Every structure is written in C-alpha cells, then in structure tokens.
Amino acid sequence: MTHPTGRTVAANISLSLDGRYRGPEGPGDFGAFLPYVATDTARDHMSRMCAGATTAVLGRVNAEGFLGYWPSVADDKAADPRDRTYARWLVDTEKVVLSRTLATAPWPRARTVDAPATDVVRELRGTGDGEILVNSSASVIRPLLAADLLDRLYLLVVPVIVGGGPRLLDDGLPGSTWTLTSQVVGEQGEVAAVYDRAR
C-alpha cells in the first residue's frame, strides 16, 4: 500500500482479547503475551512487518527495552533466523525515538526527537522512501490514529483476557474503516492480522 501523499506509515502491537497491550502491573507486565509472541505465526508476522520498512519509530520506554534485548539477538547464531533478521533490521535501520527526557539516542543509527508524534511522522512521510514502522509503542500509535496518520496495522491478537491494564483503543478516537489484507491463525489461537486503512 502506498499513501497518496508519501510513505506508508504502519504500526505493530500485540493485543489481548480485551484490547490491552500489557497487564495491570506496569510497563513490564507482558506475562500474558509471552506464550504467543515467539510462535511461528508471531515470528512470520514480525518478518512481514519489517520486510519493507526503512524507518523505525519508537517511544522511549520501548526503545530502552528493545536495546536491552535485540542487539544481542542479531549476532546470536542459536537464535531463530527470523528473530535474527528482525534484530539485524532494527539495529541497522534508521530509528527515531520520541522522548522528552533522553538527551542522546540509546541506539546507533538513532536520533531522539522531543516533538509530538504527529509532527514527526508527517515530516518523515515527506522524506525518503520505504515504510515507516511504529514499533509496539501505544503512546505513539494512539495520537497517530487520532490524527488519521496510520495506513496499516500489524496486530497480533492473543487468546487471553488480561482483565486489567491499559487498552490501545480508548473512547474518543475518530471513526475509521479498515480492510483486512492478511490473517493467519496460529496453533495456540493467536491471530496475526494486517489491516490497511480504507481511504
């Protein structure tokens, strides 16, 4: 999908059946998601989403969390090849980290920006080529949805009701229509879906 005014902007995130992207115990509460994010379905989904992306956009919390994990995977010969491919892409690609507090970027080939996500993405859309991928950062995805700046959603829906914790889609978002362009159901009931914005 090519956006008529520039690059395609995509976002990926894992969600529970009740629409939550983490549990109630704080930013590190991903226990309900762990059985599903390393399945073949999830790994193939991850490979699809980074295949055409040339810029990664992350919030500060995810940028720091990813830094603690993915760089070591890139060179780990024992890791799943799909994990290594994603890790190598994340290490090598241009990264924009949205933060009001970081003075320097926590990654090579990264820069920090203290500006609204909508302004940053509008600027990125008008330059370069390849897909812009917002990586699992709800704090970035929400304002982009509100401003109708997302063209594609990569969702991994896991068959769990978490029962607490923040939801991605809150009341107040403007209405929009999406087309299901890909759907794969995993052996554990996880669903990897790709939705494109119908314009």
**Amino acid 5: pLDDT:** 57
What CA–CA distance (Å, rounded) separates 83 from 129? 24
Residue ranges for the chain with pLDDT beneath 70: 1-5
Taking Cα atoms as reference points, which of 68, 126, 148, 132 lies closest to residue 96?
132
pLDDT of 6 reads: 78
pLDDT at 2: 52
CATH of region 9-197: 3.40.430.10
Domain boundaries, the chain: 9-197
Bridge-partner residues for 96, per DSSP? Answer: 57, 111
Pinpoint the alpha helices (H) of 14-128: 40-51, 60-67, 70-74, 81-92, 117-125
From residue 118, how far is each of 7, 14, 57, 121 by CA, in Å?
A: 14, 22, 12, 5
Q: 26, 61 in Cβ contact below 8 A?
A: no
Supply the pTM of this predicted model. 0.92
CA distances to 10, 35, 59, 145 from 173, in Å: 17, 30, 20, 7
